Structure 1
Amino acid sequence: MIREQAHAKINVFLQVTGKRDDGYHTLESVMVPLALHDTVELVATEAEGVRLFCEHPPTADPEDNIVVQVAKAMQARFGFCGVDIHLTKHIPIAAGLGGGSADAAATLRGLNRLFQLSLKPEELAEMGLKFGADIPFCVHERAAMAQGIGEQLTFLPEISPLPVWLGTPALTLSTADVFARVTPDDFQHRSLAKIIEAWTLGEGARLNALCTNSLTVAAEKTSPAFRTFMQRFALHGAQSFTMSGSGPTVFVIGPDALTLDRTDLADATFRFSILTKTL
């Protein structure tokens, strides 16, 4: 049996820079892995195929789960025997925290170990990219600047962990719907130099003040309930807070994460909240 941790991520910086002819938006982002994680356990079996076991499955049909899809793709390519995958979820689903991508990446790493395929992380990342732009980042689980559609990674220095508070509201946002609301007016070309410097120096308070996400406007257009949530969250003591990915989770990083009144925040507004840290 092989066990892998699948770590959540936040985008401490995200800007949409344009749109390609194939419909994909180009991005510039700084992504950071978190201690919050799912667990993926893999066991080789004599039976054929891939079986997924999960108490709270992200999809109703296991065949639609990205974990099963990447496992079957590896099985078809390398011809190994059957495998049972036990997925334990802790990262909220459809929250902008990369849970599905992290699970897929952990599955790739785990299968590589289980069947002794000797694939390099770069090879696993290339395989994962076919299933999701965030999977290459999740394979490496290192802070990085991401460009292109998110697959072009430049790794950042490792620093001491910073506290991170996460709050996921009791609503959902479709990634496709959010990106559909993005207009050329939302395209940005801001420099990443200051936020990368703040990260490199481990300056949590400065980093938090510099965090930004240009998808926030599109997310608020997509869901009036999310707009109301953002306004309400601003009243709860966060000096600066940012949406991660395409939402709806918001986060605070650095010292401010420790000073939030989490008692007041732990109400019906949130379906999930936690104080965690960067890796």
Structure 2
Amino acid sequence: MTVFMKQFQVGTRVRCSLPYAGHGIVFAVHGVQVPESVRTIGGVGVSGGSARLDVVFLNGTISRQLSEALVRASVQWRVLDEVATAEEVQAAIEHANTAQAEREAIKREAAAQFAAEVERLKSAPEYSHLVQGEDTYSGVLAAKNIRAMLKLAFPAVKFSVRKKSFGSLVIEWLDGPTENDVQAVAGQFRAGHYCGQEEAYQHEKTPWCAVFGAAEYISVCRHHSGELIERAIAKLFNDLPGNFDGIERPSVEQYERGSLDIIRVPGLAYSLQQMIRQTLNGTHG
């Protein structure tokens, strides 16, 4: 890997591939530069150098005290053979300072709105039946309030809301509302979501969770009685008679055993097992 060997100076233009960066300009050099000591480690890491650099990016951000070795040799950095004028350096710094002030103002406004909504929720009469407390993210407080809200929304249905592990809840019930119905109630207690692209859980703090509790993971599991399964089968065969011509109407027991996956429904890209499951998911008990 090529190591940039020239001396950095105020105005040296650089480019960084990290999301917050982009094109930038070195506006301060601290210490003595030792480019000949810079080495790459395994094509990824870097070592050596003794100077520190301050870089202002044209997108309005600033990075300070960057290691000389990082900027000279990291795969994420490229040093351009260009030097900005003093006027360009000053303009970039002023732009970054203005942008930083705007970002801080937006953060203050968001924090004020968050605090105001927290206070509104705490005293809102429509939520007086819910519990408030300090334990907001373990799932304990959220479980109590989810039970209360589900009981109010679906009084004829018995729900099991239990804590599976820290920050993880499981909700189970028989027939009654669909999983989407219950998610509409419980989903507001979710503390964030798992991002598959970044392979990490992303927290999303909300005023609701700050007041009434939250859990990182909330799973819903609706169990189906034989009567509801029979209703779903009947609905499916009545609504799509042409697709099931020549297919014997299955029993509840066959569906519960999962033995209908081998039966493909003509004209549709699903098995009979999948079709019944989809119908069940949209059928209220």
Band the TM-score falls in, shorter-chain normalisation: under 0.3
TM-score by length of 1: 0.22
By relative contact order (CA 8 Å, sep 6+), the higher-ranking structure is: 1
TM-score by length of 2: 0.21
Q: Which has the higher strand share?
A: 1
Q: Which has the higher helix share?
A: 2
